[in-house]
Amino acid sequence: MNLPELIAIGSNTLDIMIEIDDILRFELMDKDIIKKYTAIEYSRKLNVKSVRFVPGGSGANIAANGSMLGLKSAYIGVMGNDFSAEICLTDLRKRGVDLSQVIQTDRDTTALSIILRTPWGKDRSILAYKGANNLLNSSDVNEKLFGNIKAFAWTSLTSDDGCKAIEKAITLTKDKGGMVFAAPSMSIIKNAPKWAKILISNSDVVSMNLEEAQEFTDENKKTLMIKTFLDMGIKLISITDGPNGSIISDGKIIINSGVYSAGDVQDTTGAGDAFLTGILISRLGNFSLEKTSKMATAMSYLECQEIGVREGLPHSIQELENFINNNAIKQVISEIVQ
């Protein structure tokens, strides 16, 4: 059995990307809080500019990204017996991901996300259905698969059984001396907060965006968010903030990084998964925190250069290193005073 070095559990989804101009946008203000809304006029048929069917899902993305960078990667999950699953699995096979642990069922359909791309820049509203993803349970996690594990990455499942499966995989990874990487989304933070705390506290590396970090820590300052995670025992925490860059810390130093600006952003879908993959590959390579931040930022940037996930990404670590060596990025490094 050719055992994987990287195993991922999380969503495996068919993304339907709909580009639409004929849609409304408005804002509501409640005291100091401004909420923005995308709206469809009641009972109206709208014209869609374009439609793309794109394999996605954060767990599957990380497995695919790792495989493209040379890691033996496997994905564990449940999918339906439908055309959506076939599109997703075909793409993962093409990228070299081990799918021997994927279960297909008639109990539910493959997870589906409808992503609305509007004329308003970074606006990217998503309608997400977890579907068969949440049918995973701990008995589906095969202990033998973890014999050569170096990294386990998990993303959001929200059912008790799904979270128990992630918990089992974390235990198996640590028993074998591997590292645990977490990319929890707002769905688990809001819908399964107890599990979010349990799984995050048992992870070595955590990466999330600013909104997710605010929701989880109930803090507004990035430095206080960082402290909350470090106090939980997290060895490395990163918080991304779109065009404002990212902040990353290992408890000794904090690095604020900007973003690369060699080209225009086409699509930010999958950028967070690419960022975590950059951290993962850097940690396995024992790179410095400064280089780790550059690698992660580069992965995220390259992901955004083409429409759809897993596109535009490098196919080797050397290709990624060549990019960061040939493109400058601003970093501010501060020591943490104990």
> Where residue 222 sits, what CATH number does that domain have?
3.40.1190.20
Number of domains in the chain: 1
The model's pTM is 0.91
* Percent of the chain with pLDDT strictly greater than 70: 95
Domain contains 120: no
Has residue 125 been placed in a domain?
no
Rg of the chain on CA atoms, in Å = 19
Are residues 48 and 18 in contact, defined by beta-carbon separation less than 8 angstroms? yes
Range of the domain at 305: 6-13+58-108+135-335
291 vs 126 pLDDT, higher one: 291
Cα–Cα distance between 170 and 179 in angstroms, integer? Answer: 9
- Assess if residue 41 is contained within a domain: no
Q: Out of 175-179, 270-274, 276-280, 285-289, pick the least confident.
A: 270-274
Residue 264 is predicted with a pLDDT of 67
46 within some domain: no
Residue 253 lies in a domain: yes
DSSP H helical segments within 27-144, as ranges?
A: 58-68, 83-94
The pLDDT confidence band at residue 100, using thresholds 50, 70 and 90, is very high
Inside any domain, residue 64: yes
Nearest 5°: the CA angle 7, 267, 151 is 15
